[in-house]
Structure 1
Amino acid sequence: MKTAPPGVTIAPFNGIWPRIHDSAFIAPGCRIIGNVEIGPDASIWYNCVMRGDANRIVVGARSNIQDGTVIHCDSPKPKRPEGIPTIIGDDVLIGHMAMVHGTVLEDRAFVGIGAITMDGCHMESDSMLAAGAMLTPGKRIPSRQLWGGRPAAFMRELADLHLADMQMGVQGYVLNARMHKASLIEVGDGSDQD
């Protein structure tokens, strides 16, 4: 998708355009720049920024990045000449106003509202970072663990019921994104409204 929906910036960087699946929802106010790939039924909510200039950003199928979130990547450095991309797997939930920087989020990971992940962090599948937490550089959250605090540390194991709730949240966001996409098509971008 090189043609941006109304109210969205989709722009190249160094000749590389974002690659966005046709079924993805990109809300007005988003800024998607450079080497960014967004998969099927993913949703990028209002006023998010995804800047793939220093490295690449990948968002998997059905993952949602909620309002006001910033996604970036880490540039090459002498000790890390390849830099660190941000790789977001399938069915990932990222809460409002989160910051995800140079991090791997495996399938079904959950980043809470206002949480921060820093360079070299890795969240395994079915792991959770609590709202407002800060995962400091290089930390890894094992599968089925909840971490919280600043700096984040292990809090407890996640029960099956909690994991099922997270996946219901993913399904809910896929459906909600479809409704928002349809509503925006019906009314346009609202620029001609009083």
Structure 2
Amino acid sequence: MTTAPYVASLDDASPQIHPEAYVAPGAVIVGRVRLDRAASVWYGSVLRGDDEAVEVGEECNVQDLCCLHADPGQPAVLEPRVSLGHKAMVHGAYVETGALIGIGAIVLGGARIGAGSLVAAGALVGPGKQIPAGVLVAGVPGKIVRELADDDRDSFARTPANYMAKAARHRAAVPLPPA
């Protein structure tokens, strides 16, 4: 396992990584990528800002094996406190504050996920779809199932803080020598 993330400039664009952001070993950050304060990018994730910008807001967590990429004219944007579950993909889409994109979910170009919404595990939000704030989206193709209740919101509102604590622990991890 590599002990450092791969962070690289591409053409004239270099990643901008806040000193309080955490990027795990094995993550790839290339080109026009911005990570704000306390954002975390986990093992095996790829953030590729070659065609357009990739922006990750404060206290976002991009969990293991995620992919953020964009097409020309369609940046990938995560507003503050967004959580991307393991293996989620956001491609040229916009995710508003406090939303959670579930494990293995895909959000495609030009889509917009409203603040505090939950895209269920494995859901597919198609190109250009506009999802309002505070709803649950599930299925392939993704459809609004219902409005979220307070209990729903509370269940995933703690995720950013949990991942900030995990980042502090993992930052202190000590690699073992090869066997």
Give the Cα separation in 1 of the matches to 2:20 and 2:95: 22
Within the alignment, does 1:72 sit opposite 2:69 as a pair? yes
- From 128, 131, 134, the counterpart of 2:124: 134
Aligned partner of 1:91 in structure 2 is 81
Structure 1 residue 7 displacement after superposition: 2.5
Q: Secondary structure in 2 aligned to 1:67?
A: coil
Output one character per residue of 1:133-183: Cα deviation in whole Å (capped at 9) or x when no partner. Answer: 000000011001101100000111101121122111211111111111122
Structure 1 residue 89 displacement after superposition: 0.6
Within the alignment, does 1:27 sit opposite 2:24 as a pair? yes
Aligned partner of 2:57 in structure 1 is 60
Letter in 2 for 1:38: L
Give the aligned length: 178
Q: Secondary structure in 2 aligned to 1:62?
A: coil
Instruction: Compute the TM-score of the two structures, normalised by the length of structure 2.
Output: 0.96
Letter in 2 for 1:97: K
Alignment of 1:1-194 (within 5 A): 6-75=3-72, 83-183=73-173, 187=174, 189-190=175-176, 192-194=177-179
Q: Secondary structure in 2 aligned to 1:131?
A: coil
* Stretches of structure 2 lacking an aligned partner (at least 5 in a row): none
Letter in 1 for 2:68: I
Provide the aligned C-alpha RMSD in A. 1.2
Aligned partner of 1:79 in structure 2 is none
Which structure 1 residue ranges, 4+ long, deviate > 4 Å from structure 2?
none
Q: Secondary structure in 2 aligned to 1:179?
A: helix
Give the Cα separation in 2 of the matches to 1:136 and 1:169: 25
Aligned partner of 1:80 in structure 2 is none
* Stretches of structure 1 lacking an aligned partner (at least 5 in a row): 76-82
